[in-house]
Structure 1
Amino acid sequence: MQPSRRSALIVGVLFVITFVSAITGAALYTPALTDPGYVLGPGSDTMVRWGAVCEIVLAIANIGTAVVLFPILRRVNESVALGYVAARVMESALIGVGILSVLSIVTLRESGGTDEGALLVAARSLVAVHDWTFLLGPGFLAGFGNGLLLGYLMYRSGLVPRGMALVGLIGGPLLCLSGIAVLFGWYAQDSVWSGLATLPEIVWEGFLGIWLIVKGFRPSPAAAPADARQPRLAG
């Protein structure tokens, strides 16, 4: 297997892992994030802990996509490729903060306490922290990194069909604008408008994972072997 094909396969698998782990983690987190009385009574601690494991896998896979792609994307535009790596690392760091907030709710529930009101306030505060990290990490930074930066690099290089890369170039900024709208309270994070704004980014990332697994990179100087490589593409 050629190195470029191997890299494409690894990146495609990692993107699929990000989808599966994100969806599974969100489902497993549900009791801690949606039940106001979770911190006071019996709860599905094991389920929530497995949700944390899924989120850890998500963070690792996020960074993995950027690390594997960087040697290829730097041939297109090294500064933008480095920005993509930084965006993925920052996104994963915020995911890590969200993991800590949810696990802290589990700790509060297990430790108990006589002041139920204080426990509820603390749990709600931790849920709010998780919600903000989700908005800024898998929301805003994913739109900036996977959508705008990666979409630009893929469009310039032609490593994947440019029509789909254009979806990323549109979907990324749209997701960022939606995050700003939620930040200022123009609509809720779980609203229909937020869902519609997220859809192009989901399509772009889903396509990218499947395309790279099935097809690999399209012919491009960025994916050419070192001894056959043309001068770096204009940024």
Structure 2
Amino acid sequence: MSTTRRVALLGGIAYLVTFLASIPALALLEPVTDHADYVLGAGSDNQVVLGGLFELVTALAGVATALALYPVTRRVSRTGALGFVASRLVEAGIIILGVVSILTIVTLRQDLGGSADAPAGLMAVSAALVDVREWTFQFGPNLMAAINASFLATMLYRAHLVPKILPILGFIGIPLLVGKMLAVSFDVMDELTVTAFLLALPIAAWELGLGLWLTLKGFRPSPVLDEA
């Protein structure tokens, strides 16, 4: 296997891992994110911890996409390649902050929630931590996904390393995802609506399509690869 094929394969697999980890994480975290009294009752602690671990895997796999593709993307634009790595690192840090806030609620429930003298403000603290996680979701998987696409889609489009439709999907999805993030942030729209889903769909299609293409096909012939 050539070096460039291995780079594409590793980058594609890392992209697919972000999907395989992030989707079940949302369902696993629902006992905390959708139930305000979780911290007071008998919670599904193991399920929530597993969801947190899935989100951690998502964060690390996101960084892996940038690092795996760097040997090729730096041939297109060293600034763009470094920007992509940096944006993925920022996204991972934001996601991990959300994971820590959720897992803190689990610890609070275990230490204080089941006791007869549970602090009166425990639910308020729990709600605040859930709010932290919701904001990290807006600035992590939403805003940073658009910034990631602005770096990588531009480089792949310039070098013709993948079919043009893939980076074009990314270009379409960038303003739509930022618009959705702003609408949710200013309470114009709820995150769990059909409209919000449709606005996020192009970026999701870009990332999933890119992951599948790189895994199954690899990079297209390009002068960039010849120079490498």
What is the rounded CA distance, in whole Å, between the counterparts of 1:135 and 1:223 in structure 2? 36
Correspondence 1:221 to 2:223 = yes
Deviates further, 107-116 or 134-143: 107-116
Task: Quote the RMSD (CA, aligned, Å).
Answer: 1.3
What is the rounded CA distance, in whole Å, between the counterparts of 2:122 and 2:77 in structure 1? 50
What is the rounded CA distance, in whole Å, between the counterparts of 2:196 and 2:97 in structure 1? 22
What is the rounded CA distance, in whole Å, between the counterparts of 2:85 and 2:58 in structure 1? 15
Q: Compute the displacement of 1:194 (Å).
A: 1.6
Q: Compute the displacement of 1:225 (Å).
A: 5.7
The equivalent residue for 2:194 is 192
Q: Compute the displacement of 1:116 (Å).
A: 5.2
The equivalent residue for 2:75 is 75
The equivalent residue for 2:131 is 128
Letter of the 2:45 counterpart: D
Correspondence 1:52 to 2:55 = no
Runs of 4+ in 1 over 3 A off after TM superposition: none
CA contact (8 A) 1:144 1:176 kept: no
CA contact (8 A) 1:36 1:124 kept: yes
Q: Compute the displacement of 1:188 (Å).
A: 1.7
CA contact (8 A) 1:148 1:169 kept: yes
**Matches for 1:194-213 after TM superposition, within 5 Å:** 194-213=196-215
Offset from partner CA, 1:165-186 (integer Å, 9 cap, x none): 1111111222112212222222
CA contact (8 A) 1:144 1:173 kept: no
The equivalent residue for 1:23 is 23
Letter of the 1:118 counterpart: G
The equivalent residue for 2:12 is 12
CA contact (8 A) 1:141 1:176 kept: no
Q: Compute the displacement of 1:193 (Å).
A: 2.2
What is the rounded CA distance, in whole Å, between the counterparts of 1:47 and 1:116 in structure 2? 25
Deviates further, 125-134 or 74-83: 74-83
The equivalent residue for 2:96 is 96
What is the rounded CA distance, in whole Å, between the counterparts of 2:153 and 2:227 in structure 1? 23
Correspondence 1:151 to 2:153 = yes
Q: Compute the displacement of 1:137 (Å).
A: 0.3
CA contact (8 A) 2:7 2:71 kept: no
Deviates further, 106-115 or 130-139: 106-115
Q: Compute the displacement of 1:191 (Å).
A: 2.4
What is the rounded CA distance, in whole Å, between the counterparts of 1:117 and 1:176 in structure 2? 38
Q: Compute the displacement of 1:91 (Å).
A: 0.4
Q: Compute the displacement of 1:192 (Å).
A: 2.4
CA contact (8 A) 1:55 1:99 kept: yes
Q: Compute the displacement of 1:223 (Å).
A: 2.5
CA contact (8 A) 2:21 2:57 kept: yes
Q: Compute the displacement of 1:196 (Å).
A: 1.2
Offset from partner CA, 1:17-67 (integer Å, 9 cap, x none): 000100111111111111111100111101111111111111110100001
The SS at the match of 2:57 is helix
Offset from partner CA, 1:62-109 (integer Å, 9 cap, x none): 100001112211111111221111111000000010010000100110
Task: Using the aligned pairs only, state the percent identity.
Answer: 40
CA contact (8 A) 1:49 1:103 kept: yes
CA contact (8 A) 1:159 1:217 kept: yes
TM-score, structure 2 as length reference: 0.95
Q: Which runs of 5+ in 1 are unaligned?
A: 227-235
Correspondence 1:35 to 2:38 = no
How many residues are aligned here? 225
